[in-house]
A and B are shown apart, each in its own frame.
Chain A
Amino acid sequence: MPALIAAEFLKLRTIRSPWLMLGAAPLIVVAGISGFVVSNGHTPHEAQQGSALGHVGLTSVITLMFGILAVASEYRHKTITDTYLSTPRRDRVIQSKLVVYTLVGGLSGVLASAVGLATAAAWWAGKGASFSWSDARMWQTIGGSIAWNAGFAAIGVGPRRADPQPRRRHRRRLGLAGPDRRNPQPAGRQQPRPLAAVQRRTRARRVRPSRAGRPAVSLGGRAGPGRVRGRIRRHGRRDHDPA
C-alpha cells in the first residue's frame, strides 16, 4: 500500500494539469475576497471576516475536478491498463488514489485559506479596519472550507467498491470455481448459472442430421456439461473442435 500511495503521488507530481488547477484555487480566493470588499461600499468590519473567508469553500469546485481527473485521465490516456496490470487489486488502487487526492485536496484548501487570510488582512488594513485573528466564526469557516476541499476531491475520485477478485468471479460465473465462502449467497437465492443456460441453448440448437446427412450447427455433437467444462479448461473456449 505505501508503494501504491507513493506511485499515485508520483503520477500526480509528474504532470502539469493538477498543479495548474490547484494553482488557480488561491487566485479564485483572492478575486473573491477582493470583489467582496470592493463591492461592500463601506469599511469592512469584524463580523464580515467569516463571509470573506467563505470564498475558500468555493475552490472545492476545483478540487472536485482535480479528483475526477485522478481516474478519468487514466482512462483517457489508457494508462489505466498499466495501472491495473501492475496492481491487479483494483480496490487498493482506488484506495490509494483516495488517500493521495483527499490529502492533496485538503492541502490545497489550507493553501487557499492562508492566501485568503493574507488577502483579507491586507484589505482590512488597507481600509483602516482592525482584523481580528481570534474570530471564532472565521476559523470555523476556514476549517469547514478545508474539509470541503478535501471531501470534494474524494468525491471526485468517485470511490466505489471495486471487484477485488475479478478473475475468481469470472471463473465462478463459468462454473470453474466453487461457491464464494466468504460471501455466501442467502438460501433460496441461486447464483446465476450462465453455463447451464448455454448448455440448454446448445441442446436446443442441436439439429438432427438432415436428409443430406450433414449436421448443421453442432458443438461436435457432444456437449455434455463435463465436456464443455473440460473444453473451457483445456482450450479456453466452449466450442473447441479437435478436428
Chain B
Amino acid sequence: MLEATGFHPGRRGRDHLRILARSSGLPARRVDEVLDRVELSPAAGRRVGGYSMGMRQRLGLAAALLGKPQVLILDEPANGLDPAGMASLRLLLRELAGEGRTVLISSHVLSEIAQTVDRVVIISAGRLRFAGPLSQLARPGVQQAASLEDAFLRLTTDVGQPDVTARPTSADTR
C-alpha cells in the first residue's frame, strides 16, 4: 500500500475496490469482505473526495487486502489516523500477522512502531544499521518506545556519519 493518494475523488469507495477486483480477476464478494475488515462499510457508498485522511488510509489498506496477500508492505500506514484509528489499525495488523502473514511497515512514528512490531530494521544513509527483534534494542529501566527512539538516534547519527548532524541547512547557505 502506498500513500493514500491514488483515488478518484468523485468515485465511491466501494466502486474503487470493485474496479481493482475486476481488473485483478478477483470475485466481487471480496470487496465487501475487505470493507468490513477495515471497518469502512458504512462509508463505502460515499465519494472518496469526502473521506478523511484516515478513511483514505483504510481504503488503501482494503485495496491491498483484496488479493489475500501473504506479504503486506505498508508505507506510513498510520499517517493522519486519529487515536481510535491507530488503535484499530494496530489491532488489524496484529490480527493479519497472527494469521501467518508477513506485515512490513515503513514508518518514522517510532512510538507507534514500538507498540506494534516484533522485529525492527533500521536503515540510514543507504546502510543497514540494525535488524533484529525489538527486544534486542531494549535497555533495562527504559520504556520500549523510548528505547527504540534512543536506539534509532544512536544508530542513525553514528560517529562515522558526521555529516548527518553537521550538514548546513539551506538557511545557512543562503
Contacts and interface: CB of A to CB of B under 8 A. Distances in A.
Contacts of A185: none
A14 B15 contact: yes
Mostly, the A contact residues are helix
Interface residues of A, number: 19
A86 B26 CA distance: 11
Contacts of A87: 23
Contacts of A78: 5-6
B8 A77 contact: yes
Interface of B: 2, 5-12, 15-16, 18-20, 22-25, 63
Contacts of A16: 10
A15 interface: yes
Nearest to A73: B8
10 nearest CB pairs, A to B: A7-B23, A14-B15, A7-B22, A78-B6, A15-B10, A77-B8, A86-B24, A86-B23, A14-B11, A10-B19
Contact of A81 (B6, B15, B24): B6
Contacts of A6: 22
Interface of A: 3-4, 6-7, 10-11, 14-17, 73, 77-79, 81-83, 86-87
Nearest to A239: B126
A92 to B, nearest CB: 10
A219 B122 CA distance: 24
A17 B6 contact: no
Nearest to A9: B22
A35 to B, nearest CB: 32
